[in-house]
């Protein structure tokens, strides 16, 4: 058998395969031996009719289809091994020539793991977001806590004022006809919040509990319901109750009520520390995202549809499990519901494509710069991965460590995490000017392994990706 490979794109090849005439004829003979018992020829006992007689009566190609089908798996398998290809989908064969006495010529279109070529990494410049937290941000968070702990009190001796919480029924009509979404009962609305169409809330001011009135509004031209844009509507309102929100005093007693601290200063200090931790985490994630995007922009590859589809399905599964828990039937039902939403699926597909391209680019960089996991050299990063997994799962580190040690699959996942961290560190070192890769040439492994300086932090290492 002879095979050659034609590269159609980074993720698509065409195999050209020739099976010699002798092998093709032998496969046809084997097909005859299997099928002859099913052919009834007058004058011959079933299964005893000569091959040439059967072919003369039913045509010379009678056994060739089975012969081809028997040869395809081996021809495909040998070609894949010979050309070191990694298929990601089933091949699509096409018969070019299949004549008795001659060779079998065929082609196979094969979707393969994409080639990815990392270009010149000079010029990568990624600015890390600030993770500092100012006093105003802390004060806003404290104020939010006050809002959440406000005391709600019913008011009966005055009309509605700005900032009141009004409980109302409403029923809207356009040209005397009700419309979808225009009716509700016992709806709670904070006056002045801007939750409803402009002019709606202002016209409730002055109403008293039990009072009813009609108000006129005009829907804006960019209203989300197209059939209501620019339309004038009349709403019949009934006010049931008025409530006010009384904020607690900002003092030590407030801190004791909402936290484990005895003083307001301790509460603020703890809140600042938590906000700084979150700001650093966000800055780390965004910094890594920007580095990977810069790498993708400098990498020539493509995201095969089959890989995008698989990644989108995994994302759907994760989303469904987050919302539905581990109830398999409910997860399946919710996934089917998500699949029917075109907007959700398009967003999911676009996100999946970005993740596929990012992973292809990172893998290509790992390969080019020899950033593979080394059990001897990467002990610190491996241990860091164990800690991250334990933190994510809420499990003891020793338990995770033992599980990883006993599972090749989990060991591979952790080593993959380590390789990704090494790639991110390598990109970070370029972006921060620690190393300057020569255009078009692999950079030294020493530069790739350079440790970040203490004054310029690299992102926290997130847990292994699924």
pLDDT digits (tens, 9 = 90+) for 366-413: 999 999 999 899 999 999 889 888 887 888 999 989 998 899 998 898
Taking alpha carbons only, the member of 229, 226, 207 closest to residue 217 is 229
Q: Answer whether 235's CB lies under 8 Å from 214's CB.
A: yes
Which pLDDT value is given to residue 429?
Answer: 93
Work out the angle at residue 141's Cα, subtended by the Cα atoms of residues 165 and 260, and round it to the nearest 5 degrees. Answer: 105
Within 110-168, where are the H helices? 135-148
* Tokens 């995008």 sit on residue: 308
Q: Find out whether 465 and 392 touch, Cβ atoms under 8 Å.
A: no
**pLDDT range class, residue 132, cuts 50, 70, 90:** very high
Q: Find residue 18's DSSP bridge partners.
A: 2, 105
227 in helix, strand or coil? helix
Nearest to 420 by CA among 466, 456, 353, 352: 466
**Percent share of the chain, pLDDT over 90:** 61
Instruction: Note the pLDDT tens digit of each residue in 369-380.
Output: 999 999 899 999
Structure tokens belonging to residue 421: 């961290």
- Reduced to 3 states (helix: H, G, I; strand: E, B; else coil), residue 18 is strand
The 10s digit of each residue's pLDDT in 176-211 is 999 998 999 999 999 999 889 999 999 999 999 999
Task: Check whether 363 has a pLDDT greater than 90.
Answer: yes
13 burial level (CB within 10 Å; 0-12, 13-18, 19+): buried
pLDDT of residue 466: 36
Distance in angstroms (rounded) separating the CA atoms of residues 382 and 280: 22
**According to the model, what pLDDT value does residue 49 have?**
62
Residue 90: its pLDDT value, please?
A: 93
Q: How many CA atoms lie within 13 A of 365 on its CB side?
A: 28
Residue 459 has pLDDT above 90, yes or no: no
Q: Of 37-46, 71-80, 175-184, 311-320, where does mean pLDDT reach its minimum?
A: 37-46
Question: What are the pLDDT digits (tens) for 134-151?
Answer: 999 999 999 999 989 989
| Highest mean pLDDT of the ranges 33-47, 309-323, 433-447 | 309-323
pLDDT computed for residue 33 by the predictor:
76
What number is the average pLDDT over the span 326-337?
A: 80
Q: What pLDDT was estimated at residue 395?
A: 86
What is the predicted pLDDT for the residue at 443?
42
Write down the mean pLDDT value for the chain: 86
Chain segment 47-61, per-residue pLDDT in tens: 666 666 556 666 667
Q: What would the two tokens of residue 408 be?
A: 């090749």
pLDDT computed for residue 43 by the predictor: 59
DSSP code of residue 67: H
Q: Is the pLDDT of residue 442 over 60?
A: no
What DSSP string runs through 290-343? HHHHHHHHTEE----HHHHHHHHHHHHHHHHHHHHTT-HHHHHHHHHHHHT-HH
What's the pLDDT score for residue 446?
42
List, in sequence order, every beta strand (DSSP E) within 40-150: 92-98, 104-111, 117-118
For the stretch 301-310, pLDDT in tens is 999 999 999 9
Tokens in use for 257? 């009520």
Q: What span, in angstroms and rounded, lies between the C-alpha atoms of 366 and 373?
A: 9
Tens-place pLDDT, residues 26-47: 988 887 777 765 666 665 656 6
Largest CA distance in the chain: 112
User: Which pLDDT band, with edges at 50, 70 and 90, does 267 fall under?
Assistant: very high
- pTM comes to 0.69
Question: Is residue 199 helix, strand or coil?
Answer: coil
Phi-psi region for residue 90, left (φ > 0), alpha (ψ -120 to 50) or beta?
beta
């Amino acid at each position: 058998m002879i095979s050659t490979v034609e590269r159609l794109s980074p993720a698509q090849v065409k195999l050209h395969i020739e099976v010699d005439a002798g092998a093709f004829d032998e496969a046809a003979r084997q097909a005859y031996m299997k099928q002859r018992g099913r052919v009834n020829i007058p004058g011959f006992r079933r299964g005893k009719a000569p091959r040439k007689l059967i072919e003369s009566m039913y045509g010379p190609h009678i056994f060739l289809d089975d012969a081809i089908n028997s040869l395809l798996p081996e021809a495909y398998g040998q070609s894949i091994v010979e050309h070191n290809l990694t298929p990601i989908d089933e091949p699509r064969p096409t018969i070019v020539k299949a004549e008795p006495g001659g060779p079998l010529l065929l082609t196979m279109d094969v979707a393969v793991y994409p080639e990815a070529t990392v270009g010149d990494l000079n010029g990568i410049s990624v600015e890390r977001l600030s993770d500092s937290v100012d006093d105003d941000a802390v004060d806003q968070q404290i104020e939010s806590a006050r809002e959440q702990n406000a005391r709600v009190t019913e008011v009966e001796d005055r009309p509605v004022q700005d900032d009141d919480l009004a409980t109302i029924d409403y029923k809207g009509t356009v040209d005397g006809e009700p419309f979808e979404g225009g009716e509700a009962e016992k709806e709670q609305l904070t006056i002045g919040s801007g939750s409803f169409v402009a002019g709606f809330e202002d016209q409730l001011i002055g109403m008293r509990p039990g009072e009813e009135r009609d108000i006129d509004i005009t829907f804006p031209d960019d209203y989300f319901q197209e059939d209501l844009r620019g339309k004038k509507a009349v709403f019949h309102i009934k006010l049931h109750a008025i409530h006010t929100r009384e904020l607690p005093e900002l003092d030590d007693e407030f801190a004791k009520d909402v936290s484990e601290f005895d003083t307001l200063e301790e509460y603020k200090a703890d809140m600042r520390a938590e906000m700084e931790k979150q700001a650093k985490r966000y800055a780390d994630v965004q910094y890594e995202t920007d580095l990977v995007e810069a790498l993708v922009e400098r990498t020539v590859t493509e995201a095969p549809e089959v890989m995008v589809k698989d990644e989108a399905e995994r994302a759907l599964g994760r989303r469904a499990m987050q919302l539905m828990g581990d109830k398999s039937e409910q997860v399946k039902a919710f996934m089917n519901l998500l699949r029917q939403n075109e907007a959700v699926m398009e967003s999911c597909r676009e996100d999946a494509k970005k993740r596929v391209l990012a992973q292809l680019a990172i893998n290509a960089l790992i390969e080019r710069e020899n950033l593979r996991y080394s059990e001897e050299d990467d002990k610190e990063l491996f241990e860091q991965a164990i800690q991250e997994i334990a933190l994510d799962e809420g499990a003891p580190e020793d338990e995770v460590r033992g599980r990883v040690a006993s599972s090749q699959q989990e060991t591979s996942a952790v080593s993959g995490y380590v390789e990704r961290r090494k790639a991110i560190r390598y990109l970070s070192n370029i972006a921060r000017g620690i190393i300057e890769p020569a255009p078009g040439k692999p950079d030294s492994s020493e530069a790739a392994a350079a440790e970040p300086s203490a004054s310029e932090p690299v992102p926290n290492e997130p847990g292994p990706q699924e």
